[in-house]
Amino acid sequence: MEIGRVLDWIFPRFCLRCKSEGSSWCQSCAITFSPRPAEACCAFCHASGPQTCKDCRSETFLDGLTSVAPYGNAVVREALTNWKYHADPETGKAIDLWIRQSVGVRDRSLFPSDATITFLPLHASRRRHRGFDQAEEVARSLASAIGTSHQSLLKRTTATASQARRSASERRVGDLDGIFETVGPVPESVIVCDDVCTSGATIDAAAEALKKAGAKRVWGFVVAQGSRP
Ligand SMILES: [Zn+2]
Ligand SMILES: [Zn+2]
């Protein structure tokens, strides 16, 4: 018996949505499910509209955020967790499809052709441990959906702010400043990708580093946005 089948027998897989046994994302759910698009809202206070709202703009760097689905969507949330910790390729394929579908129904002006697509990198050690960087996979899917490629523009600094130890939902904008630095020349227009945006603190730390290095417009793109229900 090949190793994959042995593993399936020891650790049976169940569809994330309908819980049928066999795979983590069954064929019927792949055909029938696509997440309801998230309403466009401010990454920080969730006021409606695709751009960072007027109140948050004075203390943040990110110009706006587009997300595929609300974090409150249980199937999407479970898929992201499964993908992140088990690097499951079937789940990765489903998420890639949701990203493509989402780009297909959005206003193309959100993804201007002169924008460079990048991602929030993991620490090198964590990336080695996981074997892949889910934020980079999001960037790859987005870039391929709009017919371009992604670039690496950021790296994590070794100094991690003490506030970074706070849980994601307790973090405030500014807590994570300094955790990213830029790599190489930074273009004027950047779309920075991640899997999830909760408080907006992490993506804003990246936007700050990019703007200090010369970017004029930094837009975010994530699979899921908002807080856990
Ligand atoms: Zn299913
Ligand atoms: Zn706001």
pLDDT digits (tens, 9 = 90+) for 100-123: 999 988 888 888 889 999 999 988
Both 25 and 46 in a single domain?
no
How many domains does the structure of the chain reveal?
2
Beta partners for 191?
117, 219
Look up the CATH number of the domain holding residue 122.
3.40.50
Q: Where are the beta strands (DSSP E) in 90-226?
A: 116-119, 154-156, 180-182, 189-197, 217-225
Question: Which amino acid type is present at position 25?
Answer: W
User: pLDDT digits over 15-38, tens only?
Assistant: 989 999 988 888 888 888 888 888
Domain co-membership, 139 together with 52: yes
Between CA 205 and CA 60 the distance in angstroms is 9
- If asked whether residues 80 and 158 sit together in one domain, one would say yes
Whether the per-residue pLDDT at 148 is higher than 70: the answer is yes
Query: What is the Cα–Cα distance from 221 to 66, expressed in whole angstroms?
Result: 5
Task: Please state the rounded mean pLDDT for residues 199-208.
Answer: 94
Q: For residue 32, which ligand has an atom nearest its CA?
A: 1
Compute, in angstroms, the gap from residue 49 CA to the centroid of ligand 2. Answer: 9
Same domain, 164 and 191: yes
On whether both 100 and 17 belong to a single domain, the answer is: no
Same domain, 127 and 200: yes
Provide the whole-model pTM: 0.88
| Bridge partner residues of 190 (DSSP) | 116, 218
Higher-confidence residue of 182 and 1: namely 182
Residue 39 has pLDDT above 60, yes or no: yes
Q: What is the mean pLDDT of the chain?
A: 87
Q: Which domain holds residue 120?
A: 41-225
User: Given this model, what pLDDT does residue 56 score?
Assistant: 95
Query: Do 23 and 71 share a structural domain?
Result: no
pLDDT band of 57, cuts 50, 70, 90 = very high
Tell me how far apart the alpha carbons of residues 116 and 191 are, in angstroms, rounded to a whole number.
Answer: 6
Q: What's the gap in Å between 32 CA and the centre of ligand 1?
A: 9
Residue 109 near residue 189, CB atoms below 8 Å:
no
Task: Looking at the CA of 44, name the nearest ligand.
Answer: 2
Q: Which residues contact 37 (CB under 8 A, 6 or more apart)?
A: 68, 69, 102, 105, 106
CA of 35 to the centre of ligand 2 (A): 24
